[in-house]
């Protein structure tokens, strides 16, 4: 486990030196939050202010972008360049690399969400004690998205991973219950089973309305996390 933690620290430091990664995971969510809260680009819902409506959505987008899209693409090209083959010669092993990458990605997501939260408070957001429910929800969601990112990154060629990760990101954000709540969409029960919808619904309750998330959203995220980590740990390939 110590080796996995060291690898996670190294991965996080490496990512923070990458300008493109910082743009996707740190800058864009901040711009999106300010734009959505100060303009009518994202209409308010359920009687909430624009900021209360936008904050949970931006947090959801940030988690998906950081823990899924960015990680999948980065890992896919690491496979193509041979970087993962080099790591395979270390004592880390398949499980150590998976755990290290998941922890590093969750750490990066935590930094992004902290900046988004500070900006939301500066813009006037005032949460309640129930907002603390967002912490375990975000942790489970981060593990779920990161695990599936690693599975996809090891199952396809780098170019295919690039296309798949971006396509899945757009589909989840637009049609997966993020921008529009799954309860307001056709096939709402089916869409509600997606990790994007479960995360967005849980955060809307905790950070928007100020109540504890529905237990079903946490269960859905936990199932995706367990399944994703199981697949990633057993199927992760170096090359």
Across the chain, mean pLDDT equals 85
Q: What's the rounded Cα separation, in Å, for the pair 228 and 221?
A: 10
Reported as a pLDDT band with limits 50, 70 and 90, residue 83 is: low
Q: pTM for the whole thing?
A: 0.88
30 to 6, 120, 205: CA distances (angstroms): 29, 9, 21
The token duo for 183 is: 């309860």
User: Tokens 């940030």 identify what position?
Assistant: 62
Q: What is the mean pLDDT of residues 36-53?
A: 75
Q: Is residue 59 exposed (0-12), middle (13-18) or buried (19+ Cβ within 10 Å)?
A: buried
The token duo for 177 is: 């219950």
Asked if the model's pLDDT at residue 140 lies above 90, the reply is yes
Residue 144's SS3 state is helix
Asked if the model's pLDDT at residue 84 lies above 70, the reply is no
Reported as a pLDDT band with limits 50, 70 and 90, residue 208 is: confident
- What percent of the chain shows pLDDT beyond 70? 88
Q: What's the rounded Cα separation, in Å, for the pair 158 and 152?
A: 10
Phi, psi (5° rounding) for residue 49?
A: -70, 165
Answer for the pair 103, 4: CB distance below 8 angstroms, yes or no: yes
Q: Mean pLDDT check: name the lowest of 5-9, 28-32, 140-144.
A: 5-9
Q: What is the pLDDT of residue 79?
A: 76
Q: What is the pLDDT of residue 221?
A: 96
Q: Which residues of 84-114 are buried (b: 16+ CB within 10 A; e: fewer)?
A: beebeeeebebebbbbbbbbbbbbbbbbbbe
- Domain of 44 in residue numbering reads as 2-235
Q: For the chain, how many structural domains are there in total?
A: 1
- Tally the residues of the chain: 239
Instruction: Look at 160 and 75; give whichever has higher pLDDT.
Output: 160
């Amino acid at each position: 486990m110590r080796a996995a933690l060291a690898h996670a620290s190294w991965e996080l430091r490496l990512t923070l030196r990458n300008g493109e990664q910082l743009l996707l995971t740190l800058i864009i969510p901040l711009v999106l939050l300010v734009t959505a809260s100060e303009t009518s680009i994202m209409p308010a819902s359920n009687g909430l202010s624009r900021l209360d409506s936008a904050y949970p959505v931006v947090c959801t987008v940030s988690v998906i972008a950081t823990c899924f899209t960015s990680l999948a693409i980065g890992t896919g090209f690491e496979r193509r360049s041979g970087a993962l083959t080099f790591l395979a010669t270390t004592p880390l092993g398949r499980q150590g690399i998976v755990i290290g990458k998941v922890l590093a990605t969750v750490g990066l997501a935590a930094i992004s969400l902290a900046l988004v939260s500070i900006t939301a408070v500066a813009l006037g957001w005032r949460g309640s004690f129930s907002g603390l429910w967002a912490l375990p929800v975000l942790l489970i969601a981060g593990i779920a998205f990161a695990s599936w990112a690693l599975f996809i990154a090891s199952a396809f060629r780098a170019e295919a991973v690039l296309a798949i990760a971006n396509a899945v990101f757009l589909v989840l954000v637009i049609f997966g219950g993020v921008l529009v709540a799954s309860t307001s969409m056709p096939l709402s029960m089916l869409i509600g089973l997606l990790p994007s919808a479960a995360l967005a619904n849980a955060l809307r309750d905790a950070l928007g309305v100020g109540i504890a998330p529905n237990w079903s959203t946490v269960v859905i995220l936990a199932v995706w996390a367990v399944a994703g980590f199981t697949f990633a740990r057993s199927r992760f390939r170096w090359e």
